[in-house]
Each structure stands twice: as C-alpha cells, then as structure tokens.
Structure 1
Amino acid sequence: MIAGLRILFVVAAFLMLTLVLLPVQMVALGLGHSLMRRLPRWWHRIMCRIVGLRVHTHGHLSQQRPLLLVSNHVSWKDILVLGSVAELVFIAKSEVRTWPVLGWLARLQQSVFVERQQRRKTGAQVSDVSLRLISGEVVVLFAEGTTSDGNRVMPFNASLFGAASAALPLAPEGKVYIQPVSIAYVGIHGMPMGRYHRPVAGWPGDVALAPHFLRVIRYGAIDVEVIFSQTVAFDATTDRKNTARLVEARVRAGLISALQGKING
C-alpha cells in the first residue's frame, strides 16, 4: 500500500513539475536564452529529491574550458544525478531518442545523439560535440558505451574521445580538458548498500526500464557519491588511447574509494 502511494506521488510530482517548466523551456530554446541550460538543472535537482536520490559531491567541476566530463555509467539515474550538480549536455546513444518520456526529455535538454554502429555518420556527430565544447558547454561522455552493475568500471572506448581531438583546432589554448567523474551508489535508507540492493543501483542493458524504474521509486532514499577528479589536458600531441586508459583508471579509483567508504572531503 505504502509503495503504491509512493509511486503515485512520484508520477504525479513528475507530471506537475514537467508540465509547469515545459513551456518555459520551449520558449528559452526558441530564443536561445541561457535559461535553457539552467532550467534542466533545476528540474534534475527537484526530481532527485522526489525520486529519493541523495547526491553527495566530492571535488569540484573544473572551471577550465573547453571541458569534457568522462564518467562511468550505472543507470538512467546517472542523468538525474549529474544533471542536478551542473549545467551539462549529455552524449546519448541514438536509441534514447525514441524512448518514452526519457527520450523526449533528452531532446528538450539538447542532448547529442550518436549512432555508434553507423561509421559514415561519425564525422558529423563528432563535429556536433566539438562545436558544443568550443561554445563553452560542458559535455558528458559515458565512455563505457553501456550501463553496468555499479560495482566496476568497464573498458573505455578510446574512439569516443574523437570529439576532443576535433575541438582542438578551435580551442583557445589548443587544448581540451577532460575531467574524470565517478558515480557510485553506496547506500539505501542510510545503510550501506549490500549485495541484495545492488540491483536497485545498477541497470544492465538486459533489464527492462519500467520495472527497474518502479523498483527505484519504491525504495527511495538512495545515497549517491559523485567524485570529480583532476583534469587531463588533451592537445595535438596527446595519444588518445593512453588518455582513455588514464581517465578510465581515475574513474575506477574514484568508484572503488566510494564503494569502500574511503572518500574524503
């Protein structure tokens, strides 16, 4: 009974919040007003509270630009979590565009959709991302290319760093800065998240979205750690594969520290 009431509350709150902010966002997009970046952050922040995601940040978003954030990817909740702490643009796989509700919201936030299986479109997609970087927007890349169980970081795809290379000719200092970010789901209702509750955190690709969404809402009160690590300068002399491995190692170190309760600051 209580779980059912909670689901009804979250759905009703989502609809009310979205319907109130939607017209404002559409006008801001049409005018190119800076509100189109701030409004999604407010929406994400409020939705985190409604869903029950308690976000704790460690470190700070770098002020260096152009800036590419590279993060591990655990769940659809990552969008709410990261979107609540900064004004960001997300790189999403093309399938997200067609998802019910989430795809629509992603389009309103001006996410960049990429078709990783069609190499002939790669150049245009990379150019789109690099232009966003040069314009001063902070772009988020989930370099694993898929979601995980939240207990590990899978190998990063070095080819996804192509946008950083493409942005170099127009970058003011001939550099693009890459900041590793770790997302760790560590607790539930104030208690460490054990093996039993790990499926609430992770959303592997073979799990249907709707049942997982309802499970998260039923539980609520999920503690999430977001760790911003030191940036990596990327220029014309930088090896893309080595950079991918370095960033991957920093993201993994942040995740392990958070899962083990060893985060300071």
Structure 2
Amino acid sequence: MGVWLPAAPCTPGACVEPAVPAAAVPRAVLRLTAVAVLVLAGIVLAPLGGRIPAEWVRQWSRTIVRAMGVRVRITGTAAPAGGVLLVANHVSWLDIPLLAAVRPARMLAKTEIRQWPVAGALVARGGALFIERDRLRALPGTVARIAGALRDGAAVVAFPEGSTWCGRAHGRFHRAVFQAALDAGVPVQPVRLRYLRDGEQAASTAAAFVGEDTLFASLWRVARTRGLVAEVDVRPVIPPGAHPDRRSLARAAQPVNPEPAWTHAALVTPSPAFPVTMSPRGSVRA
C-alpha cells in the first residue's frame, strides 16, 4: 500500500447503524431535495471564487448539513487567517461541509471525486487539490502543490487517515501531507469530528461512508436518521517550528487515539440486521 492508500477495516454491514427510528420517507425526500438545491446554487456561484464572503461560505456549508436534519455543534479555537493546514479524522461526506463551516478551504481529494454527480463539480470548482493515490512517483509533486497553496495564504483541508472510518474506530494520521506544512512554514490546526444520536454519548455510525457503501445509500441513510448531531471540535493551532519533522507533527495533530484494525470488531455494537464480520481490507475513501 502507498502513502495515499491506507486501508480501513470498516464496512457497511459490520459497522453502520440502520436509521432506526427512521424519519418518514416524505421528510427524507424533502431533505435531499433541499440539499440538492443548495449544492446546485453553490455550483452556480462557484466561479465567483474569492469574491464570495467567507462568512457566506461558512453559513452555506452549515446550512447543507442542517438541511439533512443534522444538528451542528462547533466548539474550540477559531481557525487563523493566512495559510493553514486543517487536518481531521474522516467519517463521512458530511465532513467536507462541516470543515468548510469552520473555515472555507481548498480540499485535498482523490481524483475519483471528480466523477461524483453534482458534488464532484462543486469540489472541482472550489479549488480542490486532486491527488492520484496509486502513483507513488506523484507524491513529491503533490506535496509541492499543497505547499505552494499554503504559501499563497490558502487554507487546505486534508484527511490524513486516507480512508473513512466508522467513527467508533480511527486510523493513524499518515505523514506525507504534513511535509507540505513544514515546507511552507505554516501552522497546522487539528479538528475532531464526531457524530452522535441526540441524547447519547457514544459515537453513532449512521453518518459513516465506508467500504462498499454507495454515495446515494449514505445520503438516504443520513436523511432518514432522526436526532443526528455533528460535533466539530477545533483544536488549538500547532505553530510552525513546534515539531522538527513530519512524523512528530502527525502524531501531535492526531485528534483521536487510533485503534488497531484487529480490535475494531470490539468497538462495534452488533445488531441482528448488521452482524459483525471482519474484512482484511476496506475500500478507500478520501
């Protein structure tokens, strides 16, 4: 496996909770329709780029999440101005608008996202930095492009786990992207993302987008889930020069304690409809 291609053991059958109790089908359809309208509006306005006030982008991103019936709680330290690398654990496609609600940024994304219906166009027009994860030779060039964007004062969002995890288990932060922050001399801001059911303390996996899950299946599950809450904990900035190398910087930025893959099954509460089975390798999500 390459530096951009770590695997996660999370699979829909083993890890993802059903939407029970579920919202009524008409309400779920209304939620999806509202999100589609918001995303299409974003595509239309995307060519305006930097002329759109950052606060409008933040509110638009937050509204997308709310339109899916998900409550949002953002706590912690405000993201600084200028170039900054925002890094977060990766659970869901919802992570992207949630981080944009913290600070509008260029996203580091796999090239396959270009093919996503509607959302792919929005990500591309938003200035995403696309990576070819199966080409190790492209790594130095990718790091250089990220560093260049950071030097130019852009915020860049990355998910250093390289693959989505269910939210009850987490992967380790891989080091490659942190080299760009070191080369550019910019701060790193860790963000911890969690999804909960209203009134519960344990993480919910209903929002997870893992393994062979399809985008539509994940969208429908979230739209039908009642009482879903997204928690965004923005951690203090790690200033440039605080860590001498990318290994120690990645370790310092890890917002949650990663669990070894072989303990993952113990973290998942099985249900009759979703028996726990282990997969030696998970499909990769960006």
TM-score interval (norm. to shorter): 0.7 to 0.9
Identify the residue that residue 114 of structure 2 maps to in structure 1.
97
Deviation at 1:200, TM superposition (A): 0.7
* TM-score calculated relative to the size of structure 2: 0.74
Deviation at 1:102, TM superposition (A): 2.3
The one-letter amino acid of 1:84's match is A
2-side partners of 1:19 and 1:93: how far apart?
22
1-side partners of 2:39 and 2:215: how far apart?
20
Match of 2:189 among 171, 179, 195: 179
Change (3 A) 1:201 1:60: same
Instruction: Describe how 1:201-240 pairs up with structure 2 within 5 A.
Output: 201-235=207-241, 238-240=244-246
Q: How many residue pairs end up in the alignment? A: 237
Change (3 A) 1:111 1:247: same
Instruction: Describe how 1:17-166 pairs up with structure 2 within 5 A.
Output: 17-26=38-47, 28-29=48-49, 33-35=50-52, 40-63=57-80, 65-166=82-183
1-side partners of 2:36 and 2:214: how far apart?
22
* TM-score calculated relative to the size of structure 1: 0.79
Q: Which moved more, 1:205-214 or 1:15-24?
A: 15-24
1-side partners of 2:242 and 2:195: how far apart?
36
Change (3 A) 1:15 1:72: closer
Q: Where does structure 1 lack aligned partners over 5 or more consecutive residues?
A: 168-174, 254-265
* RMSD (Å) for aligned C-alpha atoms: 2.6
Is the contact between residue 243 and residue 249 of structure 2 (CA under 8 Å) also seen in structure 1? Answer: no
The one-letter amino acid of 2:74's match is T
Measured against aligned partners, the alpha-carbon deviations of 1:97-119 in whole angstroms (never above 9, x if no partner) come to 22222212211211111112212
Change (3 A) 1:14 1:64: closer
Does 1:192 pair with 2:162? no
Measured against aligned partners, the alpha-carbon deviations of 1:221-253 in whole angstroms (never above 9, x if no partner) come to 3111111112222339712111111211xx016
Change (3 A) 1:219 1:123: same
2-side partners of 1:24 and 1:237: how far apart?
39
Which has the larger helix fraction?
1
Q: Which moved more, 1:213-222 or 1:203-212?
A: 203-212
The one-letter amino acid of 2:138's match is K
Structure with the greater relative contact order (CA < 8 A, sep ≥ 6): 1 or 2?
2
> Alignment partner of 2:205: what SS?
helix
> Alignment partner of 1:200: what SS?
coil
Identify the residue that residue 252 of structure 1 maps to in structure 2.
256
Measured against aligned partners, the alpha-carbon deviations of 1:48-91 in whole angstroms (never above 9, x if no partner) come to 12101211112122326431111100111111211223212211
1-side partners of 2:72 and 2:55: how far apart?
18
> Alignment partner of 2:61: what SS?
helix
**Percent identity over paired residues:** 30
Change (3 A) 1:134 1:8: same
Q: Where does structure 2 lack aligned partners over 5 or more consecutive residues?
A: 1-21, 258-286
Deviation at 1:38, TM superposition (A): 5.3
2-side partners of 1:122 and 1:52: how far apart?
38
> Alignment partner of 2:24: what SS?
helix
